[in-house]
Amino acid sequence: MMPRTLRTLALLLAVGLSAGACKKVIGDGCSASTDCSATGDRQCDLSQANGYCTLQNCDPNGCPDEALCIGFDAHAPRLERRFCMAACDVDDDCRTPEYRCVHPDGRACVNTANASGILPSGQSCNVLIDTVSRAAGYCAPAAP
């Protein structure tokens, strides 16, 4: 039989190891990329409210199950940036109140007044890159 202090130490070690094993998911808050992944496969986007765990330069259908690959500024292919974003159907699926569920619409990216398809200054075109949609939208910062 183990002495009481040895059992307590073993229990604390087991709890500490299991707590460290919890991997953050896409969309979780963070203050450094190591908060998102100890292996460096996820990044912390500190430009988002309370940080945002993500993967940059995602491929179609290349995000984890809880996320979608979104193309930002898709109206200009050379400027487009792709990120894995937390998938959602409604606002309550996101970290609230700082995030809301946005439903991208590729049709909004078409500008009939401009044959080149480039939207006027100040407009964005964010589109779902995945071909197999797992959710209707993605968690994005709520407007201030």
Confidence at residue 16, expressed as pLDDT on a 0 to 100 scale: 41
For residue 72, give the H/E element and its range. Answer: strand 67-72
What contacts 111, CB < 8 A, 6 or more positions away? 75, 117, 118, 119, 120
Q: How many CA atoms lie within 13 A of 65 on its CB side?
A: 0
Confidence at residue 20, expressed as pLDDT on a 0 to 100 scale: 45
- Contact between 140 and 100 under an 8 Å Cβ cutoff? The reply is yes
Tokens of 62: 């290349």
Task: Answer left, alpha or beta for residue 21, where phi above 0 means left and psi between -120 and 50 means alpha.
Answer: alpha
One pLDDT digit (tens) per residue for the chain, 144 residues? 445 554 544 444 443 433 444 678 999 999 999 999 988 889 999 999 899 999 999 999 999 999 999 988 887 778 889 999 999 999 999 998 899 999 887 666 765 554 455 555 666 788 888 888 778 899 998 876
Tokens of 121: 């200054």
Cα Rg, the chain, nearest whole Å: 20
Query: If we measure between CA atoms, which residue out of 68, 53, 43 comes closest to residue 134?
Result: 68
Place of tokens 């940059």: 56
Task: Tell me the three state secondary structure of residue 91.
Answer: helix
